[in-house]
Structure 1
Amino acid sequence: MLNPDLAPGFYAGEQVVIGENTYLHHPLRVWLDLADRLECYMRVPERADPLLSITFQKKEPRKRDRTPSGDTEKYGAESEFQRIHKLEEPYFLLDMLEALRSLKLPSDARILDLGVNSGEELHLLDLAYPQNTFEVLGIDHSESALELAKSRFPGYLFLAADINALPADLGQFDLILSIGTLQSANIEVEPVFRRLLKHVKPAGHWILVFPNCRYSAGEISYGARMVNYRDPELSLLFKDVTFFRRYFQKHRYTTTITGKYEVVVTARSLQGV
């Protein structure tokens, strides 16, 4: 391929003339996207101007996770899930910081994190509001993951509970946050959401995150997958996002939908505005 550094500002497929030769320009992103769709690693290119030599290496076939969806330790402290660090993914980090800052949370806000797991995403609160001291309650059904969360955030409260049967005495919150949880097969999405409505303050907000990716062989791969589909199939993702967006718009929230590998639905209450 032509070294893309030699043709800044050119579009993919545009012709570039260097000396007596004509080349087609492609940004590195094109080859990374192709590697993703072919389920390959893209090795570091070798340079021999004006060209780069790119090698794709096939990934090992992805093993199907046969852990029952109701197993409370499917994403526990000893699971492969703990190797994933979402805050190292630029889209996720920047989209979440933008969503949190847009809410202008009060310094003493109460925050409920559903499906908190080991709590890594709670670092986002410190990054978005470094001067604030929030009251945070994290809920998950994995007790081993919650032990990790407690060690990371000793000032926050954590509760082992089934999201389908939340305690009635949780109180009300300025923000209800859920990252990659409400799409789980064992969650009854609409009944859970309707029960959560009594736990958000009249001027409270929501951030709901739905995965549009999967993790495989150490890398993130774009697009929601369904059983028996090899390539991304987004209909269930759109269905869930549309359900929440319609509800929020009907009940005096301004709603934004952002993200790439993770779709971030941010609902800001208009009450009191």
Structure 2
Amino acid sequence: MKLFSSDAMVDIFSWAQESLKHSDKITFEVLNPDIRQGWYAGEKITLDGITYLYRSYKALSDLGELLFCRMLTPKPLSEHTVAITYEKLDLSDSFHHAVLSEEKYGTDSSFARVHKNEEPAFLSAYLRALKSVRVGERLRILNLGINTGEEFDLIRRILPHDQYMNLSLVGIDHSHSAISVAREQFKEGNATFYVHDINDLVSLSLGRFDLIITIGTLQSSTLEFKPLFMSLVQEYLTKEGSLILGFPNCRWMDGEMIYGAKAPNYPYSEMSILIKDIYYCKKYLQQKKFRVTVTGKEYLFLTATKIQ
């Protein structure tokens, strides 16, 4: 087993990349990160005459993610070292590769296995956005691309029951099976769900809303991004209404949420389109006198509230 003691991270990275060309699983030996707390990656420590460069478990986990691997549970090898094992992800095991259809995101799809609220990076950013717009005060809430209702479920969990029951929730999605699940899970009487084409909201006569939420939906290839976004602000938002727009900056594959969205014609994550769309929305909303923030990492949340 290869020992990396005082080797630079670039050497470990290069070795791992080359080794993964020939194997689905690699193991190497490094300094046990639990030896010290509060040390930064690359700081030197000498133990029993051997000089090591310190790296935290977070740094080692990040390296695995960049290599499209999952990091297995480290195993102690000696008083000062552990074995780190990376296992290649099955990149074909992803809903992103599914053929576009009404049930690509249905209950029998790979997407149905994804539970975003259980991923801390998503949960933290979404919670921040909900608190920023004072969700409990937004009596009418619209969610486009609601799927089985996970984004409404978090609202239900964080609000007192009486306050939650004062809300009127409307969710829209094109998946019949997902909406069937949502209707089953939200029987309190304050939520309405539609199986409908988001391009044709006008036929539903929805009225206006105090909060509009759409996460991972507006950039769908089946939607006209800019016209739909502008119509939401102009025709469906109340005068003092707020928005939460979630832009995916990740891929879901083989049980993992991997940072960085795949861009067309690039073999790696390239963020130009994502940044352009967020900037367009931010600039448009600021011109309409909204206060706009952008937070998050794997999902970037644009939150807009009216300037009083």
Which of 24, 40, 63 is the equivalent residue of 1:11? 40
Distance in 2 between the 1:253 and 1:108 partners?
16
Report if aligned partners of 2:93, 2:254 keep a CA contact under 8 Å in 1: no
**Letter aligned with residue 114 of structure 1:** L
**Letter aligned with residue 32 of structure 1:** S
Number of the residue aligned with 2:27: none
Distance in 2 between the 1:234 and 1:144 partners?
32
SS of equivalent to 2:241: strand
**Letter aligned with residue 38 of structure 1:** L
Deviation of 1:61 (Å): 3.9
Aligned residues: 270
Deviation of 1:85 (Å): 0.6
Identity over the aligned pairs, expressed in percent? 40
1:8-62 per-position Cα deviation (integer Å, ceiling 9, x unaligned): 1111111112343321000111111111121112111001331111011122342
Deviation of 1:77 (Å): 1.4
**Does 1:138 find its partner at 2:171?**
yes
Distance in 2 between the 1:36 and 1:26 partners?
15
**Letter aligned with residue 175 of structure 2:** S
Which of 196, 211, 215 is the equivalent residue of 1:179? 215
Cα distance, 1:266–1:223 mapped onto 2, change above 3 Å: same
Unaligned runs of 5+ in 1: none
1:68-115 per-position Cα deviation (integer Å, ceiling 9, x unaligned): 43x111111111101001011111111111111122245561000000
SS of equivalent to 1:53: strand
Over the residues paired in the alignment, what is the CA RMSD in angstroms? Answer: 1.6
Number of the residue aligned with 1:220: 257
Number of the residue aligned with 1:55: 85
Name whichever structure is richer in helix by fraction: 2
Which of 31, 36, 43 is the equivalent residue of 2:65? 36
**Does 1:167 find its partner at 2:196?**
no
Deviation of 1:129 (Å): 2.1
Distance in 1 between the 2:109 and 2:281 partners?
30
Distance in 2 between the 1:159 and 1:92 partners?
25
Report if aligned partners of 2:93, 2:253 keep a CA contact under 8 Å in 1: no
**Does 1:109 find its partner at 2:109?**
no
Cα distance, 1:260–1:5 mapped onto 2, change above 3 Å: same
Distance in 2 between the 1:248 and 1:216 partners?
34
Number of the residue aligned with 1:199: 236
Q: TM-score, structure 1 length as denominator?
A: 0.94
Deviation of 1:239 (Å): 1.1
Report if aligned partners of 1:113, 1:176 keep a CA contact under 8 Å in 2: yes
Q: TM-score, structure 2 length as denominator?
A: 0.83
Deviation of 1:122 (Å): 1.1
